[in-house]
Amino acid sequence: DDTSGREKLVAAGFDPDDVHTARCGAMPINWSGDWRNVTPMAYFASVGDVPMCRYLYHVRGATTRTAADEDIADRAWLGGKVWWYPMYAAIEKRQPEAAIWLFLHGASGEASIHTDSDEPSPLDICFCSLREPARRNAKHMVDLARWFILNGAIDKVPGEID
What is the structure's pLDDT at 52? 97
What is the structure's pLDDT at 117? 54
What is the structure's pLDDT at 143? 87
Within 11-155, strands assigned E span 29-31, 34-36, 77-78, 81-82
What is the structure's pLDDT at 49? 97
Q: Which domains does the chain have, with CATH numbers?
A: 2-150 (1.25.40.20)
**13: Cβ–Cβ under 8 A, 6 or more apart, which residues?**
23, 24, 25, 26, 27, 28
What is the structure's pLDDT at 56? 96
Per-residue pLDDT tens digits for 68-108: 444 433 444 444 444 578 888 888 888 999 999 999 998 88
What are the average pLDDT values for consecutive 10-residue runs of the chain, which has 162 residues? Answer: 92 88 60 63 92 96 67 43 74 90 88 65 78 70 86 68 54
Tell me the whole-structure pTM to 2 decimals. 0.78
Residues 99, 122 contacting (CB under 8 angstroms): yes
What is the structure's pLDDT at 157? 56
**59: Cβ–Cβ under 8 A, 6 or more apart, which residues?**
2, 5
Q: Provide the terminal-to-terminal Cα distance of the chain, rounded to the nearest Å.
A: 45
